[in-house]
Amino acid sequence: MKNTFTSLFAALLLLCTCAAQAQTIRRVNNSGLNVTGVNVYATLQDAHDASSSGDIIYLEPTSISYGNLTCVRPLTIIGNGYFLDQNPALQLDKREAIVGTVYFNNGSAGSRITGCTINSTIYITASNITVERNNLNTTYIGYNGNTVTVSGIIFRQNYATGYLYLYPNTNTTVSNVNITNNIFNTGSISTSGQFARMSNILISNNVIGTLAGTSGYGIDVDNAVIKNNIITYTGTSPVFTPRNNAYSYNISGNTAFGTANGNQQNVTPANLFVGGTASTDGAYQLRTGSPAIGTGESGTDVGAFGGVLPYRIAGIPNVPTIYQYNQSVSGNTLNATISTRSNN
């Protein structure tokens, strides 16, 4: 079955290649199936080192990490999603594409990583990087004393179990960062404290905190537009400091945002979400009658599943996927049915 799936996956990549003729498709596979051929590699770093600017690297599902990556050229890196065993009918192979520490260094501007499980930290010290639809831990944006400007960062539709740090310092500015439609289960959005060296930060349609509202995670930034977010914490500790921010249409489990400008306070998390009967990330969908439905800016839903680009369950990347395969033998004939779907 796994050998069959590998062949099917390769065929699917061929279809994608037709839409990206100027780019080389590179496969990474460490499944132990002795997958060989042109442009097939055992680690993510190997695929990177063999690549040219603009190439696409597909990480095939496995149970073994593809290792760390230091990226110094613009690449697109695509996994197959996460929480797949909890969300049936999304991918045929329920294993994940696992990565260690990722560094987007000088030269990597224009890179994108999506659909991966990133078990360690992402360090972004180049501009124009997109991190979307990943299951990840901690992310640093601007954590490099040698970098003058980090700008044009998109961080969206991720499931995070750690912190997102906007990290300007005396030599670094961080600007034009969009942080949208993420779930920060146990983490916060915060900064190094160099508030004056941040500008044009958008924090929109995120959920921050556990479903129970028992952890004091929040937002601690400056020079930001903060809207349509949910902070679940119900305790008395402060989870938001207004400073030089514009904030509206947010919901908090305590009094963090107050009630002006469409903000809501003291909202019990249990009244917001469908809860634990769904998958780990699906539990953050809004329940019927939720006070987050339609109460955001321009009538959008508040939280990760609202807005123009809602959170995507299981981080399925926006490439075609195989979600079902059936075969039968009739005499000398092998009959196979392959079910595929496109993903926005």
Cβ 58 vs Cβ 28: under 8 Å:
yes
- Structure pTM? 0.88
Q: What is the pLDDT of residue 323?
A: 39
**Domain-embedded: residue 224:** yes
Which residues, other chains included, contact 299 with Cβ-Cβ below 8 Å and sequence gap of 6+?
none
The whole-number average pLDDT for the span 243-256 is 96
Does residue 255 form part of some domain? yes
pLDDT at position 106 is 93
Domain that residue 298 falls in: 139-311
| Digit-coded pLDDT (tens) for 172-212 | 899 999 999 999 999 899 998 888 899 999 999 999 999 99
- List residues bridging with 124 in a β-sheet: 104, 141
Residue 295 within any structural domain of the chain: yes
Give 57's pLDDT tier (boundaries 50, 70, 90).
Answer: very high
* Half-sphere exposure in the Cβ direction for 69 (13 Å, CA): 37
- Domain for residue 18, yes or no? no
Confidence band of 94 (pLDDT split at 50, 70, 90)? confident
Kindly report, residue by residue over 13-22, the tens digit of the pLDDT.
Answer: 444 444 444 6
pLDDT above 50 for 10: no
Does 71 fall in a domain? no
pLDDT of residue 91: 67
Q: Which two tokens stand for residue 209?
A: 């905190």
pLDDT tens profile 272-285: 999 987 799 999 99
Which band of pLDDT confidence, cut at 50, 70 and 90, is reported for residue 319? low
Q: Return the pLDDT at 174.
A: 95
Tell me the C-alpha distance between 195 and 96, whole Å: 37
Is 291 part of a structural domain of the chain? Answer: yes
b/e sequence 240-262, b meaning 16+ C-beta within 10 Å: beeeebebebbbbbbebbeeeeb
User: Is 240 within the bounds of a domain?
Assistant: yes
Q: According to the model, what pLDDT value does residue 32 have?
A: 67
What is the pLDDT at residue 34? 62
What is d(CA 118, CA 53) in angstroms, rounded to the nearest whole number? 22
pLDDT at 146 over 70: yes
Residue 330's pLDDT band (cuts 50, 70, 90): low
Half-sphere exposure (CA, 13 Å, Cβ side) for 78? 17
When pLDDT is averaged across residues 247-260 and rounded to a whole number, the result is 98
| Residue pair 252/271 in contact by the 8 Å Cβ criterion | no
Count Cβ atoms within 10 A of the Cβ of residue 95 and give its class: 0-12 exposed, 13-18 middle, 19 or more buried: middle
Compute the average pLDDT of residues 102-117. 97
Sheet holding 112-114, edge to edge: 40-41, 25-28, 56-59, 76-78, 112-114, 130-132, 149-156, 173-180, 198-204, 224-227, 246-248
Give the start-end residues of each E strand in 33-88: 40-41, 56-59, 69-71, 76-78
The pLDDT, as a whole number, for residue 198 is 93
Whether residue 225 contacts residue 323, with contact meaning beta carbons closer than 8 Å, is answered with: no
Arithmetic mean of pLDDT over the chain: 87
For residues 48 and 69, what is the distance between their CA atoms, to the nearest angstrom?
Answer: 8
Selected residue with higher pLDDT from 29 and 37: 29
**CA count, 13 A, side-chain hemisphere, 247:** 26
Is residue 62 in some structural domain?
A: no
For the chain, the maximum distance between any two Cα atoms, rounded to a whole number of angstroms, is 74
The number of distinct structural domains making up the chain is 1
